[in-house]
C-alpha cells in the first residue's frame, strides 16, 4: 500500500459513508450505538458486551428478536454503524448474531470455512473500521472445525477446497491436536489481520480498534475468549 495516500483514502471513504445518510439520520445513527437495550454494542468494551450476549444466548434469554423489524426500518433508512466485526467459519453451527444475541445492524461479519484472512476479508474489515466506526474485530474459531481438521490431517482436498487448507496450514504446522490447532489458527489469523493491513494495524496502534480471538464450542454454545 502507498503509505502517503492512506489517510486520503480513509478520508474519502468516510466522506462517502457520511454522505449516504439522509438528513435527520445522524441522531438515529448515534442512538444506534447507545440504545437502551444492552444488546446494542455501545462502547469499546466490546468483549464484555459480547460475553453478556453469549450469556443471554446460553440462558435462553436472548432479547434481540423482539425489536428486529424496528431496526430493519431504522438501518434501512439511515444506514449502518456496526461496532464489531466478526471473522468466523461458514460452519452452520456458528451464526454470530445468534451466539452473541445481536441484531440487524450490529455485527459486520465475514464467514468462510476455517475463518482465515484473505484479501476480501481484509478489505471488508478495513471498510468497517475506516468508514463505519467498527472498534472491535473478533476472530472466532470453533470446536470440531472441518477445515482445521482437514488441514491437520494433511489429506489433499479436491477443487477449490485446497484454498482453505493452504491458508490454515502455516498456523497448524507441527500441531496434531485439533483443538490446539483451532486455537493456533485463530491466533495466526489475528496476526494476519495486523500484518497484512496497514489500515487495521494503524487503527489498533491508535487505540481505535481492538482485535480479539475466541473459540466457540459447538457442543455447549459457549464462547471462550483467548487471553
Ligand atoms: Zn469450521
Which of these, 118, 42, 49, 85, lies nearest to 204 by C-alpha position? 85
171 pLDDT band, cuts 50/70/90, is very high
Helix (H, G, I), strand (E, B) or coil at 91: coil
**Cα–chain-centroid distance for residue 151?**
23
Number of H helices, E strands in the chain: 10, 5
- Find which of 38-47, 72-81, 165-174 is predicted with most confidence, using mean pLDDT: 165-174
Q: What is the pLDDT of residue 36?
A: 35
Residue 136 has pLDDT above 90, yes or no: yes
Going through the chain in order, the beta strands assigned E by DSSP cover 84-88, 107-111, 136-142, 210-216, 223-225
Helix (H, G, I), strand (E, B) or coil at 141: strand
More confident residue, 21 or 176: 176
Domain ranges of the chain: 3-225
Ligand 1 center–CA 121 separation, angstroms: 16
Residue 102 has pLDDT above 90, yes or no: yes
Ligand 1 center–CA 1 separation, angstroms: 31
Ligand 1 center–CA 146 separation, angstroms: 5
CATH of segment(s) 3-225:
3.40.1050.10
Amino acid at each position: 500500500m502507498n503509505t502517503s495516500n492512506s489517510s486520503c483514502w480513509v478520508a474519502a471513504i468516510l466522506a462517502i459513508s457520511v454522505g449516504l445518510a439522509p438528513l435527520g439520520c445522524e441522531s438515529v445513527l448515534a442512538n444506534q450505538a447507545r440504545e437502551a437495550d444492552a444488546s446494542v454494542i455501545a462502547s469499546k468494551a466490546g468483549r464484555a458486551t459480547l460475553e453478556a450476549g453469549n450469556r443471554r444466548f446460553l440462558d435462553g434469554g436472548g432479547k434481540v428478536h423482539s425489536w428486529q423489524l424496528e431496526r430493519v426500518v431504522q438501518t434501512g433508512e439511515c444506514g449502518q454503524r456496526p461496532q464489531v466485526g466478526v471473522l468466523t467459519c461458514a460452519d452452520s453451527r456458528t451464526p454470530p448474531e445468534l451466539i452473541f444475541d445481536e441484531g440487524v445492524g450490529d455485527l459486520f461479519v465475514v464467514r468462510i470455512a476455517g475463518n482465515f484472512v484473505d484479501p476480501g476479508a481484509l478489505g471488508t474489515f478495513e471498510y468497517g473500521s475506516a468508514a463505519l466506526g467498527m472498534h472491535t474485530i473478533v476472530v472466532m474459531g470453533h470446536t470440531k472445525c472441518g477445515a482445521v481438521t482437514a488441514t491437520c490431517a494433511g489429506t489433499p482436498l479436491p477443487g477449490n477446497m485446497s484454498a482453505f487448507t493452504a491458508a490454515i496450514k502455516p498456523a497448524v504446522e507441527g500441531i496434531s491436536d485439533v483443538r490446539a490447532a483451532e486455537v493456533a489458527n485463530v491466533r495466526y489469523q489475528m496476526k494476519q489481520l495486523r500484518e497484512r493491513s496497514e489500515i487495521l494495524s494503524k487503527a489498533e496502534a491508535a487505540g481505535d480498534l481492538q482485535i480479539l480471538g475466541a473459540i466457540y464450542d459447538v457442543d455447549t454454545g459457549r464462547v471462550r475468549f483467548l487471553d
